Amino acid sequence: MMIGTRRLLDAIESFYDQTTAATSALLWSAWPTPDLSLRGWQLSDYPSMMVRLPRAEAQLAPTDLSIERVSNTASLLEFLDVVSRGFPFNDLAKSLTAWDERVLKEQSLHLWLGRVGGRAVSTSATIVGGDINGVTLIATLPEARGRGIGAAMTERAGSVVPEFPATLLASDKPRQLYEKLGYVAVTRFTLWERWLGSPIEA
């Protein structure tokens, strides 16, 4: 391992080992990485960075789905509950339970909650910045999947500022869904996960 890479990892690990709000750290690299397993990292995935240009048309949502912006503590708790049960990166989802009403004051962050019959079943989020709608935290409870709810939640998150393009990171399994929504894969990342407190190579 190159000295520069080792120093960078030392700094990353030192930062997260002093963090008490999360139980794991994620490392995203747009470039090839050496094997980090000896340092306590576990290879997680090779997600694709996907981009969609602005467009006028939108995917039709199920008629019984209502989408609302999370605006109070009660709906934030519902949002976090759905993410913790429906998001593929379980530990990342659990770390979000440390969120409180302060996140609602962040102007660039938009949290979306999808309801069917008044029950919260799906989420998505948008981080607006750099003239981009950054789409993330797309989660649907297992019993509500296969009905187009996830697609509708993705569309809502990707069109906060209609004239901006949208980006998201996708594993191979949901990638076809996003391609149907007009997203195009432009590159892959290497994703490593490290549980905090894991042993580090001397």
Strands 190-195 and 166-170: unpaired
pLDDT exceeds 70 at position 183: yes
Tokens of 146: 């296969």
180 is a domain residue: no
pLDDT of residue 200: 47
Same-domain status, 63 and 154 = yes
User: Counting beta carbons within 10 angstroms of the beta carbon of residue 152, is it exposed (0 to 12), middle (13 to 18) or buried (19 or more)?
Assistant: buried
171 is a domain residue: no
pLDDT exceeds 90 at position 188: yes
Looking at residues 99-127, what average pLDDT do you find? 94
Let me know: does 83 contact 139? Beta carbons within 8 Å.
yes
Top-ranked range on mean pLDDT: pick from 80-84, 183-187, 194-198: 183-187
Let me know: does 69 contact 42? Beta carbons within 8 Å.
no
Same-domain status, 39 and 70 = no
pLDDT of residue 199: 46
**CATH classification of the domain holding 124:** 3.40.630.30
Write out pLDDT tens, residues 121-133. 999 999 999 999 9
Looking at residues 42-52, what average pLDDT do you find? 93
Distances (CA, A) of 58 to 124, 127, 141, 152, 157: 16, 19, 23, 8, 11
pLDDT of residue 6: 87
Within a 13 Å sphere around the CA of 149, how many CA atoms are in the beta-carbon half? Answer: 25
Domain with 35 in it: 3-47+189-195
pLDDT of residue 98: 67
Within a 13 Å sphere around the CA of 166, how many CA atoms are in the beta-carbon half? Answer: 24
Within a 13 Å sphere around the CA of 199, how many CA atoms are in the beta-carbon half? Answer: 3
pLDDT band, very low/low/confident/very high, at 91 (cuts 50, 70, 90) = low
Same-domain status, 146 and 102 = yes
Same-domain status, 11 and 92 = no
Same-domain status, 70 and 125 = yes
pLDDT band, very low/low/confident/very high, at 172 (cuts 50, 70, 90) = confident
**Domains identified in the chain, total number:** 2
